[in-house]
Amino acid sequence: MQDIGDGRGYTAGIIGFTTGNGDLRQVVLRYRQLRPRNDLTQFLPALKRVQGTASHRGLGQPFVTAWRRVATDRQFVRAQDDILNQQYLHPALRAARDDDLGPLGQYIYYDALVVHGPGHDATSFGGIRRRAQHLARTPAQGGNPATYLRAFLRVRQGVMRQEAAHHDLSRLTVQRQLIRQRNFALRRPLKWTMYGDHYHLAV
């Protein structure tokens, strides 16, 4: 868990839930449902107060320590998975299905939802998708998938460049590489470099 200076307070967990946008609080609420007696419930009032801000007020080192203490609890891991699926993965899959996009499009949508969050303003996933659809037709509208996904990434790049925490655009470079390769099904083997790290997914 750390504050990466993006104006969203603490970032932590499997996909980088944040105190600022409130999904980290949703994880703690879900964890309370799964394990009513836990070390994080006491911080729920503070998590509600700091939502929408970069503040750590009422959290600080005690909260960081408590988060690390429960990190390996299977119910805590499940709570994170549940919020990930509910707020990010399933909405990304539904949107990709509506736009007739395959696995690559699903990945691109999911990544954008995680980084920019749900919503319909210009800097959220819904706004990025809407603007991309003004630039190119989706496959569901008879458009070319490569053309549409490039338009989506072009809009997203503009949004990312507005935030200092996202100055490294290597995740978009990887996605564009897959589009150039026309690997819309994400066939393996896959090789990519992101944030200076090298990855290889074999057949």
Cβ-count burial 159-188 (b if 16+ within 10 Å, e if not): bbeeeeebeeeebbebbbebbeeeebeeee
Asked whether 119 and 113 are in contact (CB, 8 A), the reply is no
Q: How many CB atoms lie within 10 A of CB 70?
A: 17
Is 0.95 surpassed by the pTM of this model?
A: no
pLDDT tens, position by position, 9-49: 899 999 999 999 899 999 999 999 999 999 999 999 999 99
pLDDT tens, position by position, 70-96: 999 999 999 999 999 999 999 999 999
Check pLDDT > 90 for residue 150.
Answer: yes
Between CA 173 and CA 193 the distance in angstroms is 9
Check pLDDT > 90 for residue 166.
Answer: no
Which pLDDT band holds residue 165 (cuts at 50, 70, 90)? low
The tokens for 153 are 């990434």
Cβ-count burial 25-48 (b if 16+ within 10 Å, e if not): bbbbbbbeeebeebbbeebeebbe
The proportion of the chain whose per-residue pLDDT surpasses 70, expressed as a percent, equals: 99
* Residue 47: per-residue pLDDT: 96
- H helix or E strand, kind and range, residue 193: strand 190-194
